[in-house]
Every structure is written in C-alpha cells, then in structure tokens.
Amino acid sequence: MDEKIVIIGMGNLMTLIAPSYSALLGERLKTDLIATTVDEEDRKRKQEMFPFEIRLGDNAGALRDLEPTMILFAPPPHVAVSIAQSDLAPYYAELREKGKPLPLLLATPPVPDVEKYFDILGEDIPVATMLPNTFAELNGKKVDREGANMVTLSNVHPLSEEDKARVKALLDPIGQTIFSKPQYSLKILTAGVELTSITAFMKDIADNCPYAMTIQQVAAGVRLGLRKKFDIQYGGDVPSDDCLPEWQLGSLGRFIDSFTDGIIKYLKEVEIPDYAAVSIMGDMNLHITMMQTREQIERQMAGMATPGGMLEKAVKDYEAFMREEMIAESKALAPDHPFSEEFLGDIAEFARKTSHAVLDHAMGLAK
C-alpha cells in the first residue's frame, strides 16, 4: 500500500522519528504527508527542515485535503482527548457515511489509553499507541538495532496482521518493533522514562565531582556498570574497563546498580515479570549521552520533556527530592570516599518511589 500520512502534532517526537516516515514514503514525502502544529515559530523552523507542508492548526483541513491512510497523532498529553473529540471523531464519522476506508491511527502515549480511542472514535477503527525509538543514528552511525519501538495493541480490538505489518513498515527503519498489551506498556514505559531521567543525575555528578569528569565520561562509567550487571552483549561504542580510574568506575557502577535495583523493585510491585526493557532502554540512553556534546544533551532532554508529560514529572521529582543529596555526594566523591551506603539506599528507594509517582501521573493524564 502506498501510504499517505497526516501528522497531528509536529513536535519534537515527530521530528526525531523523521527517518521512519521518510523511508516509508521515499520520493512521495513531499506530496503524501501533511503535518500540523499550533506553534507558528516552530512551524516556520520545521518548514525549513522538511519538504512536506506543515500547517498552523487546521487538523481537519489537513485530513480532508490529503485523505490519509495513516494518521500519526502526537499532540501534548493534556489536549490529546479534546483534539481526538473535536477533529478526529468528525473525520472518522464522515468517512463512515461515505463508505470510505478508515485510516490507521498511531498515537503517542500516555493519553488516551489505546482502549479509550474506541470510546471516542468508534469500535471499528484500526488504532495502536506507539513509543518510537528516537535514535536511529548517532553521530552518523546506525544504532537502530539497539533501540526498540513499543507498540501497544488493544486487548479487545487488536490490529489485523496486515495493519501490524504496516506499523512495522513505518517503524522498523528506526528500531526493533515490539507489540505489547495495555496492562504492560505504560508500566514498562514508566521504567524507560525513569532511566532517561538519569541524565539529570549524571549532569550533577559531572558538574560537582572534584575529580574532573565530563558528563560523557560519567555516562561511559555508568553504562559499563549497567552492561556488566545485565550481561549486555550487543551495542556499539562499548566503554573499556580503563575509561576512568578504577575508583570512579566502582562508584558509578554501584550508583547504577542501586538505581536499577529500585526500578526492578518497582516492576515487581506492578507485576511486570520481564526486566529486559531496563537493560535495552538504559543502555541506549547511556550510549546516546556518551556520544553527544553537552549542548546536544541539554537540547535532547528539553525536547523529550513534553510539558505536563512523564519525563518532566521524573526530572522535577529528582530536582525536588534527590538533587541536593546527589550534589553533596558528588562533591565528596574521592578515591577514599565512594558514594555512601546510605546514599545508595536512598537512590534505590527514590527510583522505586518515583517510578510509581510517574506511573500515577501518567494514569492521571489518561483519565
């Protein structure tokens, strides 16, 4: 099928996954894709980046003008339901009245929950929610096999095999596509968000340790500890055992060990039996941080932290409840003074509690 795509919400996420729809559409990218955004300055910037039309608002017009076979729905979480009701619902109703095929809807979590779309748009729509891998390349190197696209299917109205193949055709260029169920996806996504927030911790370690370390070096040491803990055998740019002095590697290894212990405890408490996502998402995030400049890291964190979203909640909780202790421990870090046992225990408990808080936040958005 020659897909035609409308993107509603051409924000940071849809910009980051451009290699997916660019590969799918190929030479038709200019003519068979229309995107919308509500920010005029951002629209102008994005229009200079991409060959397809980017409109200010006008979701309904974009849908009617292009008649897409696929809709990528990525507005901010706090307005997703209202836009689905005001723009998507009338459009799907029109198509039914005219006897036309209904486009495949791929929406970004956490809201609405995939089952909610059937309440808003009708039980006959093909829909899934997706959390795409946002890094297919890193400094010119392909790293798509290191990341995963998480796609959540309905328990009641799952996608057909044909539509699942269409999802894979879109997302496989940027990562391994994994299909999951609603009762698991948001809980696993929360663990991934908490692992992404660790960049804020690493910035404070690098900025405050009296023995100079860049954030890239901190990420390398933390990644090495993670890879040893989970026996990770894949991935590029693997740090060596001598990338930092042994005492620094020891402290960073114990830091990530405690942090992931907290996340695993959270996963057990929410009845997720498989912890593979911790190693996949953790290693990818640390690999990215290792290879980027400080400016790129700052920009990436800002871009991923959607206002009102899950990552913003995780980072704010760190700043409110853990940052002061993290900075104090980093200032005291020395060959004869590793991270304290009390601090490591606090880190594990913080990761556990904040994961629950982020999950509760996401579930609140979904109501």
Domain range annotation of the chain: 5-180, 192-366
Neighbours of 50 (CB within 10 A): 16
Q: What percent of the chain has pLDDT over 90?
A: 71
Report how far apart, in Å, the C-alpha atoms of 318 and of each of 16, 209, 218, 315, 322 are: 25, 18, 18, 5, 5
Non-local (6+) Cβ contacts of 137 within 8 A are: 19, 143, 144
Query: What is the reported pLDDT for 144?
Result: 63
Q: What is the largest CA-CA distance in the chain?
A: 75
Query: What is the reported pLDDT for 284?
Result: 86
Average pLDDT over residues 108-126: 89
Query: What is the reported pLDDT for 106?
Result: 98
Tokens for 345? 């225990």
pLDDT tens per residue across span 14-23? 998 999 999 9
CB contact at 8 A, 78 and 365: yes
DSSP label at residue 103: P
Calculate the average pLDDT of the chain: 92
Does residue 337 surpass a pLDDT of 90?
Answer: yes
Query: What is the reported pLDDT for 367?
Result: 59
d(CA 227, CA 253): 10
Identify each DSSP E strand in the chain by its residue range: 5-8, 33-37, 53-56, 70-73, 104-107, 127-131, 137-138, 141-142, 148-152, 176-180
DSSP label at residue 101: P
CB contact at 8 A, 290 and 219: yes
Architecture of domain 5-180: 3-Layer(aba) Sandwich (3.40)
Query: What is the reported pLDDT for 307?
Result: 76
Least-confidence region, from 218-227, 272-281, 323-332, 340-349: 272-281
Non-local (6+) Cβ contacts of 59 within 8 A are: 6, 8, 36, 83, 87
Tokens for 95? 């198509």
DSSP label at residue 34: E
pTM beyond cutoff 0.75: no
Tokens for 292? 């980027």
- With 0-12 CB in 10 A as exposed, 13-18 as middle and 19+ as buried, what is 214? middle
Tokens for 209? 């340790």
The per-type count for the chain, helices as H runs and strands as E runs, is 17, 10
Nearest to 155 by CA among 176, 136, 179, 172: 179
